[in-house]
Amino acid sequence: MHEFPITEQIIKIASEKAKENNARSITRITLVVGEQSGFIGESIQMYFDIISKDTLCEGAVLEMENIKAKWYCPDCNIHYARQPFSFACPDCGNDGMPTNIGKEFYVKDIEIETE
Protein backbone atom coordinates (compact mmCIF):
# COMPACT_ATOMS: atom_id res chain seq x y z
CA MET A 1 0.00 0.00 0.00
CA HIS A 2 2.83 2.42 0.70
CA GLU A 3 4.86 1.41 -2.33
CA PHE A 4 5.20 4.99 -3.65
CA PRO A 5 7.11 6.53 -0.69
CA ILE A 6 8.96 3.25 -0.23
CA THR A 7 10.17 3.35 -3.83
CA GLU A 8 11.31 6.96 -3.34
CA GLN A 9 13.38 5.73 -0.39
CA ILE A 10 14.89 2.88 -2.41
CA ILE A 11 15.94 5.30 -5.14
CA LYS A 12 17.38 7.68 -2.53
CA ILE A 13 19.41 4.93 -0.81
CA ALA A 14 20.71 3.50 -4.08
CA SER A 15 21.56 6.93 -5.50
CA GLU A 16 23.47 8.03 -2.39
CA LYS A 17 25.50 4.82 -2.36
CA ALA A 18 26.20 5.14 -6.07
CA LYS A 19 27.36 8.78 -5.70
CA GLU A 20 29.70 7.74 -2.85
CA ASN A 21 31.30 5.34 -5.33
CA ASN A 22 31.48 7.78 -8.25
CA ALA A 23 28.96 5.88 -10.36
CA ARG A 24 27.99 7.01 -13.83
CA SER A 25 24.81 4.96 -13.58
CA ILE A 26 23.19 2.15 -11.63
CA THR A 27 22.53 -1.00 -13.61
CA ARG A 28 20.98 -3.20 -10.93
CA ILE A 29 19.41 -2.81 -7.47
CA THR A 30 18.89 -5.93 -5.37
CA LEU A 31 16.11 -5.78 -2.78
CA VAL A 32 15.40 -8.33 -0.09
CA VAL A 33 11.62 -8.50 0.33
CA GLY A 34 10.22 -10.80 2.98
CA GLU A 35 6.88 -12.39 2.10
CA GLN A 36 5.39 -10.77 5.22
CA SER A 37 6.89 -7.34 4.66
CA GLY A 38 3.55 -6.29 3.18
CA PHE A 39 5.11 -4.90 0.01
CA ILE A 40 4.12 -5.96 -3.45
CA GLY A 41 6.98 -6.34 -5.92
CA GLU A 42 4.93 -5.43 -8.99
CA SER A 43 3.81 -2.17 -7.38
CA ILE A 44 7.37 -1.25 -6.45
CA GLN A 45 8.45 -1.97 -10.04
CA MET A 46 5.61 0.17 -11.39
CA TYR A 47 6.55 3.18 -9.24
CA PHE A 48 10.23 2.59 -9.85
CA ASP A 49 9.83 2.88 -13.62
CA ILE A 50 8.17 6.27 -13.12
CA ILE A 51 10.18 7.81 -10.27
CA SER A 52 13.62 6.69 -11.47
CA LYS A 53 13.45 8.85 -14.59
CA ASP A 54 16.25 11.43 -14.68
CA THR A 55 17.98 9.86 -11.68
CA LEU A 56 21.04 7.64 -11.44
CA CYS A 57 18.62 4.73 -11.09
CA GLU A 58 16.99 5.20 -14.50
CA GLY A 59 17.17 2.00 -16.48
CA ALA A 60 18.35 -0.10 -13.54
CA VAL A 61 17.03 -3.61 -13.22
CA LEU A 62 15.20 -4.21 -9.92
CA GLU A 63 15.93 -7.68 -8.58
CA MET A 64 13.93 -8.93 -5.63
CA GLU A 65 14.98 -11.77 -3.37
CA ASN A 66 11.95 -13.14 -1.55
CA ILE A 67 12.20 -14.63 1.91
CA LYS A 68 9.57 -17.03 3.20
CA ALA A 69 8.11 -16.34 6.64
CA LYS A 70 9.17 -18.64 9.45
CA TRP A 71 7.76 -19.19 12.93
CA TYR A 72 9.73 -20.68 15.85
CA CYS A 73 8.77 -23.49 18.22
CA PRO A 74 10.59 -23.04 21.57
CA ASP A 75 9.66 -26.59 22.64
CA CYS A 76 11.24 -28.26 19.60
CA ASN A 77 13.79 -25.51 18.88
CA ILE A 78 12.92 -25.47 15.19
CA HIS A 79 11.87 -22.86 12.67
CA TYR A 80 8.91 -23.78 10.50
CA ALA A 81 6.64 -22.40 7.78
CA ARG A 82 3.04 -22.09 8.94
CA GLN A 83 0.31 -24.13 7.32
CA PRO A 84 -2.41 -21.76 6.12
CA PHE A 85 -4.46 -20.37 9.02
CA SER A 86 -2.62 -22.42 11.63
CA PHE A 87 0.03 -21.48 14.19
CA ALA A 88 0.93 -25.10 14.97
CA CYS A 89 4.45 -26.54 15.02
CA PRO A 90 4.56 -29.48 12.55
CA ASP A 91 6.47 -31.63 15.06
CA CYS A 92 4.69 -31.17 18.39
CA GLY A 93 1.45 -29.43 17.39
CA ASN A 94 1.79 -26.60 19.95
CA ASP A 95 1.43 -22.99 18.80
CA GLY A 96 4.90 -21.54 18.17
CA MET A 97 5.79 -17.86 18.01
CA PRO A 98 6.37 -15.36 15.21
CA THR A 99 9.89 -14.30 14.20
CA ASN A 100 11.27 -11.54 12.01
CA ILE A 101 12.11 -14.04 9.28
CA GLY A 102 9.93 -13.03 6.36
CA LYS A 103 9.55 -9.39 7.43
CA GLU A 104 12.80 -8.17 5.87
CA PHE A 105 12.79 -5.20 3.58
CA TYR A 106 16.15 -3.74 2.62
CA VAL A 107 18.38 -2.73 -0.23
CA LYS A 108 21.00 -5.49 -0.36
CA ASP A 109 23.37 -4.28 -3.04
CA ILE A 110 23.64 -2.26 -6.22
CA GLU A 111 25.63 -2.75 -9.41
CA ILE A 112 27.06 0.43 -10.85
CA GLU A 113 28.98 1.57 -13.89
CA THR A 114 31.96 3.76 -13.15
CA GLU A 115 33.97 5.85 -15.60
Partner 1 sequence: MAEKEIQVVQNIFDENDRIAFATQEKLGKMGVFVVNIMGAPGAGKTSSIINLIQQLSENKVYVIEGDIESDIDTVKLKELGIEAIQINTNGACHLDAPTIQSSLDGLSFDKPGLLFIENIGNLVCPAEFQIGEHIKMLICSAAEGSDKPYKYPLAFEKADVILLTKCDLKTYVDFNDEFFFKGVRALNKTAPVFEVNAKTGQGFEDVAGWLLQRKS
Q: Which residues pair with 23 in a beta bridge?
A: 114
Residues contacting residue 54 through CB under 8 Å, at least 6 positions apart: none
87 is a site residue for partner 1 (CB under 8 A): yes
Q: Does 38 bind partner 1 (CB under 8 A)?
A: yes
Nearer to partner 1, 51 or 107 (CB): 107
Q: Report angle CA 26, 23, 20 to the nearest 5 degrees.
A: 115
CA torsion, points 83, 85, 87, 92, in degrees to nearest 10?
-50
- What is each CA distance from 43 to 11, 39, 49, in whole angstroms? 14, 8, 10
Identify the residue among 4, 47, 78, 111 touching partner 1 (CB under 8 A).
Answer: 111
Interface stretch with partner 1, choices 46-54, 55-63, 94-102 (CB under 8 A)? 94-102
> Can you tell me which of 56, 57, 70, 96 binds partner 1, judged by CB under 8 A?
96
Asked whether residue 2 is marked as a ligand-binding residue, the answer is yes
Shortest distance in whole angstroms from residue 112 CB to partner 1: 6
- Give backbone dihedrals phi and psi of 110, rounded to 5 degrees, phi first: -130, 155
Contacts with partner 1, residue ranges (CB under 8 A): 1-2, 6, 9-10, 13-14, 17-18, 21, 24, 27, 38, 85, 87, 95-98, 105-115
- Which residue numbers belong to the known binding site? 2, 73, 76, 89, 92
